[in-house]
Structure 1
Amino acid sequence: MSNEEEDDCKCEPGLPPWMGTFADLMSLLMCFFVLLLSFSEMDAMKFKRLAGSMAQAFGVQNKLNVTDIPKGTSIIAQEFSPGRPEPTPLNEIWQKTQDITEMSMEQYCVEEYDIEQGDEGYDAGVKLRVKQALQDLLSQTEADAYQLAGALNEQIVAGQVEIETRGRLIIIRIREKGSFISGSAEMSPSYKDVMREVRSVLALKKGKIEVQGHTDDIPIKTSRFRSNWELSSSRAVSVAHELMLGGDISERRFEVAGFSNTVPLAPNDSAENRARNRRVEILVKQGLEDELAEEDLKLLKDDKEGEDILRELDIAPEYLFDLEPEEIF
């Protein structure tokens, strides 16, 4: 090559001009595909079902006659106005699984998904809200007990009546002193006035009412009562009848039980302790079922989360719920 030809071939330094345009085009294409990906919806459940279908039913599909070509929908036309979704033919025709197989595969995938997801537990805010709601209900129970104590102040001072609260449970304990004649289930006239005061307060309060009769361990056998079981039950029935007078309290709220000497407050080893054990107790079970939502009750009954809340408030579950013995944790 001559020197003149070398002088005519003057190449500019750097990349050729077309490379800039090409790079811009590639960048725009990449942005376009990123936008397409962002418009799509990733459904974990559908993905799991698809994976489960492949794992559970691979090789059991059957061919069906196809009367029309399967069609898809343009995502650009679907997501952006004024575009209209137009069906676009697909090149492949897929087999369809039988309905019964689809149901089994779907169930399999849902169970697998649940197992892999695991239990996320309860949100801390939810637990705090339920705990606060429970504290408010316990405070309301305390207020109801104070109202009863105010109505029965004279009998409480005289040692004839005791009032106690345990969780959402109010216990009105009627001592035998002056309430029943020894060996009898007939209530003394003075105690009927006490029952009238109790009835007027309980008529305004919610909750089930259980009347329990208790005796000491000294056996009884008379023409009227064959054992302490009959005596304790009869005394409980007498108190329940007094509370039902006038129809202010529905009979459906009542439960009556006699426990004989099986639930003593103190050992039956002295006359004083035996007198303390001879009693009738009125249990007002205010409960939680009518006060809290179903999800909140489920949290409180949870073996871990609910137990933690009740432990913090120092409450046993039997004082909140009507639990069977095997349900008490």
Structure 2
Amino acid sequence: MLLPRRSERDLERDHKASQMWLLTFTDLVSLMLTFFVMLFSMSNVKLDRWDNVIDSLSQSLAPEQVKTPISSTATHNIATVFRKRAINLDYLTSVLREKIDSDELLKQTQFMRLEDRLVLALPGDLLFEAGRAVMTDRARAALFRLGGALSTVANQLGVNGHSDPSPVAGGDYASNWELSTARAAAVANQLRAAGYAEPIVAFGYSDSRYDQLPPMPQAQRQLMGRRVDIVVFPTSGGLR
């Protein structure tokens, strides 16, 4: 059975009728909004409760702020950034050589410019009496002058004490290990007394590096074996 075809006017009338509920719903919402606005205008807002609500919302919606403590490593890194810059070793070599060559006691110092450091080899017999680690007054004065020159730079310093294979004869030390360490410490302390403010690490090697000396007459070899090395590094960052 075929239904009669509806006209366009009938379809338009039905469409308008189907949307009539929207007008009623809109009127209802408007009336409710007006009602609540009137209620709010006649009431007093309790500010303390309102503040509590705002604080609660702020804490729940705001991102969490994490406080990261500053570690000791970070503090050390900051201090390292502002540390005085080290002097170029080639320039420092020429300055120290001129000063040492003019000193009657230290002019026998051997300069060794290695790839990553400068070594000043001081003959131990000119600084200390046999079997002892107490410097003579003359040696103390000479090292004080040398330390004065080094006090103006920030290059890291190390002091290494050495000995020849001969056993310690008399004195206050039972072995060359103790003697070489004590002599290195004595030189380091004198450099500090002269004004060098950076850390100095002192080592005693006894005769463990005696065989590394280049060929030379035996007397000179033993003299160099009892040396004290002042090692100057190219940076102020630390020893290697």
Give the alignment's TM-score, normalised by structure 1.
0.42
Q: Secondary structure at the match of 1:190?
A: helix
Q: How far does residue 151 in structure 1 lie from its aligned partner after superposition?
A: 1.0
Q: Secondary structure at the match of 2:135?
A: coil
Aligned to 1:220: 168
AA matched with 2:192: M
AA matched with 2:121: R
Counterpart-to-counterpart distance in 1, 2:115 and 2:126: 29
Asked if the contact 2:155/2:236 (under 8 Å) is kept, the reply is no
Aligned to 2:199: 253
Unaligned runs of 5+ in 2: 1-84
Which among 259, 263, 282 is matched to residue 209 of structure 2?
A: 263
Query: CA-to-partner distance for each residue in 1:98-155, whole Å, 9 max, x for gaps?
Result: xxxxxxxxxxxxxxxxxxxxxxxxxxxxxxxxxxxxxxx9993111111011111134
Unaligned runs of 5+ in 1: 1-136, 290-320, 324-329
Cα distance 1:269–1:164, how it changes in 2: closer, same or farther (>3 A)? closer
Asked if the contact 2:105/2:139 (under 8 Å) is kept, the reply is no
Which among 120, 138, 143 is matched to residue 195 of structure 1?
A: 143
Q: How far does residue 208 in structure 1 lie from its aligned partner after superposition?
A: 1.4
Aligned to 1:8: none
Q: Secondary structure at the match of 1:197?
A: helix
Q: Secondary structure at the match of 2:88?
A: helix
AA matched with 1:256: A
Q: Which has more radius of gyration?
A: 2
Cα distance 1:224–1:165, how it changes in 2: closer, same or farther (>3 A)? same
Q: How far does residue 165 in structure 1 lie from its aligned partner after superposition?
A: 1.7
Aligned to 1:154: 102
Which among 134, 149, 153 is matched to residue 186 of structure 1?
A: 134
Q: How far does residue 193 in structure 1 lie from its aligned partner after superposition?
A: 2.1
- Root-mean-square deviation (CA, aligned residues, Å) is 2.9
Q: How far does residue 187 in structure 1 lie from its aligned partner after superposition?
A: 0.8
Q: How far does residue 172 in structure 1 lie from its aligned partner after superposition?
A: 1.4
Q: Does 1:141 align with 2:109?
A: no
Q: Does 1:175 align with 2:123?
A: yes
Query: CA-to-partner distance for each residue in 1:260-295, whole Å, 9 max, x for gaps?
Result: 000122479833311121100011112386xxxxxx
Q: How far does residue 228 in structure 1 lie from its aligned partner after superposition?
A: 0.2
| Match runs of 1:177-326 below 5 Å | 177-220=125-168, 222=170, 224-245=172-193, 248-250=195-197, 252-264=198-210, 265-266=213-214, 270-287=218-235, 322-323=239-240
Bigger relative contact order (CA 8 A; separation at least 6):
2
